[in-house]
Amino acid sequence: MKKAVVLGAGYAGLKTVVELQKKCRGQVEITLVDENDYHYEATDLHEVASGNLPASKITFPITDVLDPRMTTLILAHVARVDEEKHLVILDGHAPLEYDYCVFALGFVSETFGIKGAAENSLPMTDVKEAEAIHEHIIKQMEDYRQTKDENDLRIIICGAGFTGIELAGALADARVRYAKLAGVTPDQIKIDIIDASKRLLPMFNDKLADYGIKLLEKLDVNIITEALIQEIQPGVVLYKGANDEEGTPLHKIVGNTIIWTTGVSGSPVVAESHLQERRGRVMDTAHLTAPDHDNLYMIGDVAAVMPPDGKRPYPTTAQIALSMANYVAKDIAARVKGTSRPGAYTYKSLGTVASVGNTRAFGEAGGHSFKGYPASVMKKMIMNKSLMELGGFRELFAKGRFDLYH
């Protein structure tokens, strides 16, 4: 019996397990390793950070989708992979031997070495961090009742990529709730989002990006562009304006909640495993393996895959992670069964939709643009589709997004 070890139970890892269980019954013994006993929908962390959804709504127990006859779950931290010896080294657990290893350990927050960012701002890369953001905001609102310090009412988001924009929309939705806690009117809750770029949302055409930005402005989110963050001090963001002359003092924005969403890199375990990487991502072969390591698949946020005629790798999304997992399960099944392996991995995006709160969104699919409420319904359908792909009807009915009207 061949041994497949899957590292990480995010979109990529868990989908690989689900597909291997279907395709390789009786032929493969699967071991899944994760630090947590639950899977979480990383695309909805902003809903937990804002307090619009409880963590239980975006998580489900990993064992719900495991077939115990084929798959064993180990709760442990992966230290590194030794591809020469075909071993996975775990902290506090015996090493695991493998015939095929699927490395899907996801992403971490990227601070780019900016002074004070790690110490003085809140990252949002997993459920615990998202919950910590929500608890922090609640505390500031409650504190305001005593302090009357307006900085308690100010939330600053650093980085207006996909994550920052969706978070700003979710926080704007939560404003009425925060205001009640603080005993103020909703317009007193200030939300700022700061980004180095002039043109936000480069993944969308100009019209759609402008639409998204206007949506946020209508929700009274203050957008500061061409602002390169240089340092974070406790309660203070210091930035340089793109057109500042030499010697201009840094600009300052002050607020007691500072959230860091300036981008992500792949798991640090990639570098620990001595794989050739850039920001934790490995340039995959056509079979989604690490170069020169045909038994080590690298998928999801640790993978860089180049489009056939592209200059930059595909962006890391849940959609591509699920698609990579499908491919890898097919490839492993073919190798185990001795049939011909699938051709080179190809990917076609089904579209991209960004939410701005619960009932507004914008995006494109199949060459068409979608805006407003219809786009928001579409976004929920996309989320339900990935939930269904991973957790089947059981998780879809328990955790699906069907609250379309509020």
Query: Which residues are catalytically annotated?
Result: 166
- The strand ranges marked E within 25-97 are 28-34, 38-40, 59-61, 71-75, 78-82, 87-90, 93-97
Nearby residues of 271 by Cβ (< 8 Å), 6 or more positions away: 277, 280
Q: Are 301 and 281 in contact (CB under 8 A)?
A: yes
Nearest alpha-carbon partner for 44 in 399, 404, 368 = 399
- Answer yes or no whether residue 171 interacts with ligand NAD by CB under 6 A: no
Q: In whole angstroms, how close is the CB of 323 to ligand NAD at the nearest point? A: 13
- Answer yes or no whether residue 196 interacts with ligand NAD by CB under 6 A: yes
The interaxial angle of helices 372-399 and 318-337, nearest 10 deg, is 50
Q: In whole angstroms, how close is the CB of 39 to ligand NAD at the nearest point? A: 17
- Answer yes or no whether residue 263 interacts with ligand NAD by CB under 6 A: yes
Nearby residues of 246 by Cβ (< 8 Å), 6 or more positions away: none
Amino acid identity for residue 261 in this structure: T
* Chain residue at closest Cβ approach to ligand NAD: 161
Helix or strand or coil: residue 298? strand
Q: Report the residue number, 86 or 379, with the smaller CB distance to ligand NAD.
A: 379
Binding-site size, ligand NAD (CB under 6 A): 24
Q: What are phi and psi of 18, to 5 degrees?
A: -55, -45
| Contact window for ligand NAD (CB under 6 A) among 86-94, 190-198, 290-298, 334-342 | 190-198
- Answer yes or no whether residue 160 interacts with ligand NAD by CB under 6 A: yes
Q: Give Cα 169 to chain centroid, integer Å.
A: 16
Containing 355, the helix (H) or strand (E) segment is strand 352-355
Q: Report the residue number, 112 or 347, with the smaller CB distance to ligand NAD.
A: 112
d(CA 108, CA 262): 11
Q: What is the DSSP letter of 223?
A: E
Candidate list 5, 114, 223, 375; residue touching ligand NAD; CB under 6 A: 114
- Answer yes or no whether residue 376 interacts with ligand NAD by CB under 6 A: no
Q: Report the residue number, 300 or 391, with the smaller CB distance to ligand NAD.
A: 300
- Answer yes or no whether residue 195 interacts with ligand NAD by CB under 6 A: yes
Q: What is the per-residue binding string for ligand NAD in 28-67, x denoting contact by CB under 6 A?
A: ---------------x------------------------
d(CA 57, CA 308): 38
Candidate list 50, 121, 163, 273; residue touching ligand NAD; CB under 6 A: 163
| Contact window for ligand NAD (CB under 6 A) among 33-41, 133-141, 258-266, 279-287 | 258-266
Candidate list 11, 103, 144, 162; residue touching ligand NAD; CB under 6 A: 162
Q: Give Cα 221 to chain centroid, integer Å.
A: 22
Residues 297-308, buried b or exposed e (16+ Cβ, 10 A)?
A: bbbbbbbbbeee
Candidate list 55, 224, 228, 377; residue touching ligand NAD; CB under 6 A: 228
Query: Which residues in the 288-317 window bind ligand NAD by CB under 6 A?
Result: 315-317
Helix or strand or coil: residue 231? strand
- Answer yes or no whether residue 261 interacts with ligand NAD by CB under 6 A: yes
Q: In whole angstroms, how close is the CB of 169 to ligand NAD at the nearest point? A: 12
Per the structure block, which two tokens stand in for 16? Answer: 């690989």
| Contact window for ligand NAD (CB under 6 A) among 65-73, 139-147, 226-234, 268-276 | 226-234
Residues that bind ligand NAD (CB under 6 A): 43, 112, 114, 159-164, 194-197, 227-229, 261-264, 315-317, 352
